[in-house]
Amino acid sequence: MLAAGATGSIGETGTGCGVGLAWMIAARRPGVRVVSVERDEQRAHVVAALFADLPDVEILHGDWTRIQERGPFDLLVTDGGGNGKSTPPADPELLLNPCGTIVIDDFTPMTQWPPVIAGEPDLARLGWLEHPALRCTEVRLAPDLSTIIGTRRP
Ligand SMILES: C[S@@+](CC[C@H](N)C(=O)[O-])C[C@H]1O[C@@H](n2cnc3c(N)ncnc32)[C@H](O)[C@@H]1O
């Protein structure tokens, strides 16, 4: 759904086996370029071969920070690096167009404020929800799963 709204380019960190990528490719508007980065070499090469017929789809092999080589994006999905949980957070001012969207997936739904994880302040979640360059919201997708969606301030 978010891919269908992008008018510039779309970026993804963490290609995996290309499932989310395939959904975004299927939903994008004509002319929208899609770039995904994957650190696992075999996965990167297999998915690149899978989408080899699509000239405006590119799979980069390497750390998620390589996505900076292709930004800024209208939509950036962080599904393998850049989420502020196990890696530093992506910089929206560097990676997003003004009013561009960032998705940070795989949170457990927030049940209190300020949010905590394992009894400690949930700094990754807070970092996004209170990011000065973004307007963010948390969307619950399942009882045990939520995602944060942010829009870069103009
Ligand atoms: C949850 S899977 C991605 C699933 C995929 N986006 C999908 O929708 O099917 C996470 C992927 O991110 C990759 N990954 C993890 N850390 C990474 C990093 N620092 N840089 C690039 N890729 C990374 C992993 O190798 C793994 O393939």
- Per-residue confidence band for 115, with pLDDT thresholds at 50, 70 and 90: very high
142: which 2 tokens?
């399942």
CA-to-CA distance for 149 and 86, rounded, in angstroms? 18
How far is residue 50's CA from residue 39's CA, in Å, rounded to a whole number?
17
Residue with tokens 């940070």: 104
Instruction: Give the tens place of pLDDT for each residue, 15-62.
Output: 999 999 999 999 999 999 999 999 999 999 999 999 999 999 999 999
Question: By percentage, how much of the chain surpasses pLDDT 90?
Answer: 100
How far is residue 96's CA from residue 127's CA, in Å, rounded to a whole number? 17
CB neighbour burial string for 34-58, b if at least 16 within 10 angstroms, e if fewer: bbbbbbeeebbeebbeebeeeeebb
Note the pTM of the prediction, 2 decimals. Answer: 0.97
Q: What is the pLDDT, as a whole number, of residue 70?
A: 97
- 16 ligand 1 Cβ < 6 A: yes
**pLDDT at position 56:** 97
**Pocket perturbation via mutation, ligand 1, pick of 36, 39, 46 by most ligand atoms within 8 A of CB:** 39
Q: What is the CATH number of domain 2-152?
A: 3.40.50.150
